[in-house]
């Protein structure tokens, strides 16, 4: 279970990063804060809202968005370049062996006026880091957390771990509130009471599940005063309605826009779109779980035959998927590591360019010959696979990509039966266990991952044997890869690490546990007549509006647009509305004409009732 | 009323002509749609969500498929489901109705309460539940719709059979030693058939609408194009807010017009078997 949550978290993280980009220039904002007297409400629209605000059990990326505003991390991310910047800790010192880090806690207060102490940090890292569904992986290497005094925290790790500073994505909670609740309740049903005591610029004061979350300014916040007095997160239920809401001026900001509507939204009056790179991708994954690890796995064994996967890779035109399913907003991916990681990315040796002839040739050589229906088979093994994907309402892009993959693979004689399932169902299929052993129940699926923007380790870990039963969903296992993974995580020299990572990626491109289809940017939109001073953040220059799950810093820079007016312009969909009304009216007219005409029809001859015919 | 007169009623009235023309055209397209379609209805192209043009008479979908071709090919699904489901419902409804109306007593009580149960349960939620439980396919959809829409027919047939049972000619036959089966076959069935037929025609309309509703909710046969699934795709891909009227209106209009045609024919048939309807309105 932890796996998927982590994935979701990561995805959320990415999205957050994109958003932050806009807010990245706080200093400038302070200078020309015209009209920033805090009377305005910033309204953010989304399709789904968090199920809970309890970080022990919350899984949605929407939860992260709220948490990241309500609370701080021990060490925050600098929206400029995602480097470590003061959070709960104002400074830190790393020991020479890199195994001990001493943090100095900043002089800050919780929103209820109590001071933030080292006890809060220790309690959170130990409790949330041990028990929180989504947070356990970050403290894997931590051996001890000591609190010599209320303003000092010492963290010791078993081996050097770069995540302790600048990668410990665990929101620090107020111990004096949370430790009153029994752990058992925290990890099951606990719903935090409001206002949600925190250290961020805004705290949740109202959570109307299914409708709206209201966050008001935290009077104890130590940083610069935010320009908006209040945040409202409004749930619309579906993405289309969210974007409509933005056009109509009901909301000011959409943190996640669909690829299909991105361009159109940008053409609307007073709407600006932001397209920021993110370490997220969409992949076609295969079930490679070896017999000894997953004795009860359920799949078509042909999928584990390498030539079949190679042929699939050559049969897929990734640019076409990008053009049709992602409306050209994504980028063709080459291998597991997104080019987002500029310091580590290197094009792999094998990129599988679109080449259906080569795909056919590989299958011919491997002995798969087309049957009567064009689907290839060998010794009765038909190349017919199930292909799961999320439903269209959950990801229009994934569902459409699955359809295209099936269409293209069909051309070389491989059949994919696309099945759209809910995220819950898809999770169930991939994490299924029988007798305590993984027993994945699929041949292939299309889904996505988002990495941590500051480090590629998370994405690379997906293919390690150690993650089978954890985050791994292709159930790939390769000794060389595992060894290289361990090697790169301990390598602090960027060039050397890049070399190792390149070897890992080449390994994967040969074995093809995933065919990574596209790298997906984060797409956002906001109203220019409502929000000013939007600067890309996380990282600066090409990041997004605010670093959604990574922190709140960019949010502080956003300010109400000076000319904020209700100059609503309803866009292009009025045409269709008129057309629909016209059809309905025509239908009604037709109906009455029919009725009217009826009266003028000639009187019809009338027979005797049927029964009498018989009776006579 | 003779068959010739019934036909005259169909051909001579505006409603009848309209109904027959639409139905005829629809059946023709249902049979030959795959041949007429200018494109493979599921072939994607890079012309995504394009408005109608010379190449694509009704524009393209979110995957660049030809809407016109989808409309033609999807006709078959709607027609097959409409007719097959109505047939099931007619068979089931008349069997239950005749049995319970003719035999009365305990048979009637049991069948009638069963029927009441189906009448009272809201059909659409029941269909949704059934369609969810079973793997969606064309015949599952037919069965689901057929099995949930027979109760009305059953009730009408039962009432008719109950009056027939007491008629003199039936009693005469019984006095002469005719078996129940013989009486049902030669006296009861022929006299209820027009009623069953009129009802079935109306159920076709209900079945077509139900198929569209279920497909629109994503419970249709995913491997088949139907008008309902086209609407689902259009809605799911945000076509309405993209202003892609060519993707939304054609399937919606087809459903409306076909249902209208079938309903008009159904009403005419009701008038044929119950001429008082005509008299009432004509006078």
Q: What pLDDT sits at residue B134?
A: 85
Kindly state the tokens that stand for A232: 């409202």
Q: Which domain holds residue B216?
A: 3-28+73-277
The one-character DSSP state at A465 is G
Architecture of domain A75-178: Alpha-Beta Complex (3.90)
Q: What pLDDT sits at residue A359?
A: 96
Position B270 in a domain? yes
Q: Among candidates A443, A458, A453, A361, which has minimal Cα distance to A405? A: A443
Q: What pLDDT sits at residue A552?
A: 83
What are the residue boundaries of the structural domains of chain A, listed by start? 75-178
- Closest chain A CA to residue B187: A614
Inter-chain residue contact B238 with A239, CB threshold 8 Å: yes
Position B35 in a domain? no
Q: Which residues of B touch A419 (CB under 8 A)?
A: 222
**Which residue carries 């198929």 as its tokens?**
B211
- A601: contact with B, CB 8 A cutoff: yes
Q: How far is CA A31 from CA A17, A28, A531, A532, A564, in A?
A: 24, 5, 16, 13, 20
CATH number at residue B244: 1.10.3720.10
CA pair distance A559, A33, nearest whole angstrom: 7
Q: Give the number of A-B residue pairs with CB atoms closer than 8 Å.
A: 123
Q: Which regions of chain A are under pLDDT 50? A: 1-38, 565-572, 599-616
- Closest chain B CA to residue A405: B44
Residue pLDDT, tens place only, B74-132 = 999 999 999 999 999 999 999 999 999 999 889 999 999 989 998 888 888 888 888 88
Q: Which residues of A touch B222 (CB under 8 A)?
A: 418-420
**Which residue carries 């019984």 as its tokens?**
B174
For residue A343, the tally of other CB atoms under 10 A from its CB is: 10
Kindly state the tokens that stand for B47: 């012309």
Inter-chain residue contact B242 with A407, CB threshold 8 Å: no
Kindly state the tokens that stand for A222: 């130590």
Position B44 in a domain? no
Determine contact, residues A105/A90, Cβ cutoff 8 Å. Answer: yes
Determine contact, residues B228/B258, Cβ cutoff 8 Å. Answer: no
CA pair distance A604, A565, nearest whole angstrom: 66
- φ and ψ at B205, to 5 degrees? -60, -45
CA pair distance A321, A303, nearest whole angstrom: 22
Sign, CA dihedral A472-A478-A483-A487, equals negative
Residues 394-453 on A with a CB inside 8 Å of B are 396, 400, 403-404, 407, 418-420
3-class SS at A77? strand
Q: Is A61 exposed, middle or buried (0-12, 13-18, 19+ CB in 10 A)?
A: buried
Inter-chain residue contact B222 with A324, CB threshold 8 Å: no
Which residues, 6 or more positions from B247, have their beta carbon under 8 angstroms from its beta carbon? B49, B59, B61, B62, B67, B230, B233, B234, B239
- A584: contact with B, CB 8 A cutoff: no
Kindly state the tokens that stand for A563: 């000319």
Residue pLDDT, tens place only, A277-330 = 888 899 999 999 998 888 999 999 999 999 999 999 999 999 999 999 998 999
Determine contact, residues B71/B58, Cβ cutoff 8 Å. Answer: yes
Nearest CB to A260 within list B187, B237, B253: B237
Nearest CB to A244 within list B46, B241, B249: B241
Position B33 in a domain? no
Inter-chain residue contact B281 with A599, CB threshold 8 Å: yes
Position B38 in a domain? no
Domains in chain B, number: 1
Buried b (16+ CB within 10 A) or exposed e, B173-182: beeeebeeee
Omega into A195 within 30° of 0, i.e. cis?
yes
Q: Which residues of A touch B244 (CB under 8 A)?
A: 576
Q: What angle do CA B197, B203, B209 make, to 5 degrees?
A: 155
Tens of each residue's pLDDT in chain B, 283 residues = 556 777 777 788 888 899 999 999 999 999 998 899 999 998 888 888 889 999 899 999 988 999 999 999 999 999 999 999 999 999 999 999 999 999 988 999 999 998 999 888 888 888 888 888 887 788 888 999 998 889 989 999 999 999 998 889 888 998 998 899 999 998 899 888 888 888 898 899 999 999 999 998 888 887 889 999 999 889 888 788 788 899 999 999 999 999 999 999 888 887 777 766 655 544 3
Rounded (10°) CA dihedral A615, B4, B6, B7: 160
Q: What pLDDT sits at residue A520?
A: 92
Q: What pLDDT sits at residue A592?
A: 61
Kindly state the helix (H) or strand (E) to which residue A522 belongs, with its residue range.
strand A522-527
Which residues, 6 or more positions from B63, have their beta carbon under 8 angstroms from its beta carbon? A324, A325, A400, A403, A404, B44, B45, B48
Nearest CB to B249 within list A573, A579, A602: A579
Q: What pLDDT sits at residue A332?
A: 94
Q: Among candidates B120, B117, B123, B129, which has minimal Cα distance to B209? A: B123
Report yes or no on whether pTM surpasses 0.90.
Answer: no
- Closest chain B CA to residue A615: B169
Q: What pLDDT sits at residue A395?
A: 82
Q: What pLDDT sits at residue A12?
A: 43
Nearest CB to B237 within list A396, A591, A606: A396
CA pair distance A513, A280, nearest whole angstrom: 17
Nearest CB to B44 within list A240, A324, A611: A324
């Amino acid at each position: 279970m932890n796996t998927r949550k982590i994935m979701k978290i990561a995805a959320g993280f990415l999205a957050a990063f994109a958003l932050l980009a806009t807010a990245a220039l706080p200093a400038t904002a302070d200078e020309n804060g015209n009209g920033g007297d805090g009377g305005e409400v910033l309204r953010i629209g989304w399709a789904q809202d968090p199920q809970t605000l309890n970080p022990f059990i919350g899984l949605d990326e929407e939860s992260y968005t709220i948490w990241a505003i309500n609370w701080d991390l021990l060490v925050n991310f600098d929206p400029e370049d995602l480097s470590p910047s003061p959070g709960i800790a104002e400074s830190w010192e790393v020991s020479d062996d890199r195994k001990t880090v001493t943090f100095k806690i900043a002089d800050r207060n919780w929103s209820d006026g109590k001071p933030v102490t080292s006890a809060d940090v220790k309690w959170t890292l130990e409790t949330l880091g041990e028990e929180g569904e989504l947070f356990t992986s970050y403290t894997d290497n931590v051996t001890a957390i000591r609190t010599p005094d209320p303003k000092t925290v010492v963290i010791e790790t078993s081996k050097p771990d770069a995540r302790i500073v600048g990668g410990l994505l665990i929101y620090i909670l107020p111990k004096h509130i949370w430790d009153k609740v029994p752990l058992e309740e925290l990890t099951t049903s606990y719903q935090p009471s409001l206002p949600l005591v925190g250290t961020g610029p805004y705290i949740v004061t109202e959570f109307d599940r299914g409708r709206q979350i209201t966050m008001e300014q935290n009077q104890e916040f130590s940083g610069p005063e935010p320009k908006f007095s209040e945040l409202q997160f409004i749930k619309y239920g579906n993405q289309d309605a969210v974007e409509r809401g933005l056009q109509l001026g009901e909301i000011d900001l959409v943190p996640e826009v669909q690829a299909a509507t991105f361009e159109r939204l940008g053409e609307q009056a007073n709407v600006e779109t932001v397209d920021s790179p993110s370490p997220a991708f969409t992949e076609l994954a295969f079930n490679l779980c070896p017999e000894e690890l997953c004795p009860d796995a359920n799949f078509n064994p042909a999928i584990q035959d390498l030539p079949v996967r190679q042929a699939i890779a050559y049969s897929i035109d990734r640019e076409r998927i990008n053009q049709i399913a992602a409306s050209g907003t994504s980028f063709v991916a080459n291998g597991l590591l997104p080019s987002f990681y500029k310091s580590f990315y290197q094009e792999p040796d094998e990129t599988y360019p679109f080449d259906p002839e080569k795909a056919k040739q590989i299958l011919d050589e491997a002995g798969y010959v087309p049957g009567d229906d064009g689907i290839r088979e060998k010794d009765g093994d038909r190349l017919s696979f199930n292909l799961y994907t999320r439903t269209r309402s959950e990801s229009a892009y994934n569902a459409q990509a699955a359809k295209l993959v099936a269409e293209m693979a069909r051309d070389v004689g491989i059949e994919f039966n696309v099945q759209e399932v809910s995220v819950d169902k898809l999770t169930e299929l991939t994490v299924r266990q029988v007798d305590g052993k993984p027993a994945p129940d699929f041949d292939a699926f299309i889904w996505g991952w988002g990495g941590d923007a500051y480090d590629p380790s998370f994405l690379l870990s997906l293919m390690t044997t150690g993650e089978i039963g954890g985050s791994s969903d292709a159930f790939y296992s390769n000794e060389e890869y595992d060894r290289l993974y361990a090697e790169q995580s301990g390598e602090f020299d960027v060039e050397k690490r890049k070399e190792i990572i390149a070897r890992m990626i080449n390994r994967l491109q040969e074995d093809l546990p995933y065919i990574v289809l596209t790298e997906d940017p984060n797409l956002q939109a906001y109203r220019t007549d409502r929000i000013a001073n939007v600067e890309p953040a996380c990282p600066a220059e090409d990041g997004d509006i605010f670093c959604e799950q990574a922190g709140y810093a960019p949010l502080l820079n956003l300010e109400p647009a000076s000319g904020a007016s209700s100059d609503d312009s309803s866009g292009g969909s009025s045409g269709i509305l008129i057309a629909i009304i016209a059809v309905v009216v025509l239908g009604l007219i037709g109906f009455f004409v029919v009725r009217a005409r009826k009266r003028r029809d000639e009187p019809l001859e009338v027979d005797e009732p049927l029964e009498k015919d018989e009776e006579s | 009323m003779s068959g010739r007169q019934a036909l005259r009623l169909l051909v001579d009235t505006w409603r009848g002509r309209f109904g027959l023309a639409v139905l005829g055209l629809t059946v023709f397209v249902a049979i030959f749609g795959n041949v007429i379609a200018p494109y493979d209805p599921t072939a994607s192209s890079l012309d995504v969500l394009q408005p109608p043009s010379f190449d694509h008479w009704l524009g393209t979908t979110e995957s660049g498929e030809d809407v016109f071709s989808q409309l033609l090919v999807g006709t078959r699904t709607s027609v097959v489901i409409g007719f097959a489901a109505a047939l099931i419902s007619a068979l089931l409804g008349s069997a239950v109705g005749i049995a319970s109306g003719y035999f009365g007593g305990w048979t009637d009580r049991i069948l009638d309460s069963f029927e009441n149960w189906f009448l009272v349960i809201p059909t659409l939620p029941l269909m949704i539940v059934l369609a969810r439980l079973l793997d969606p396919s064309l015949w599952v959809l037919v069965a689901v719709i057929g099995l949930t829409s027979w109760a009305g027919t059953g009730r009408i047939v039962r009432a008719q059979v109950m009056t027939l049972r007491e008629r003199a000619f039936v009693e005469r036959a019984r006095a002469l030693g005719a078996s129940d089966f013989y009486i049902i076959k030669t006296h009861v069935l022929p006299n209820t058939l027009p009623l069953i037929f009129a009802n079935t025609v109306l159920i076709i309309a209900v079945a077509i609408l139900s198929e569209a509703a279920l497909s629109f909710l994503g419970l249709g046969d995913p491997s088949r194009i139907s008008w309902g699934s086209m609407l689902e795709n259009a809605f799911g891909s945000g076509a309405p807010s993209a202003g892609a009227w060519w993707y939304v209106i054609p399937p919606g209009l087809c459903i409306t017009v076909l249902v209208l045609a079938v309903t008009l024919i159904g009403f005419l048939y009701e008038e044929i078997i119950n001429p008082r309807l005509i008299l009432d309105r004509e006078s």
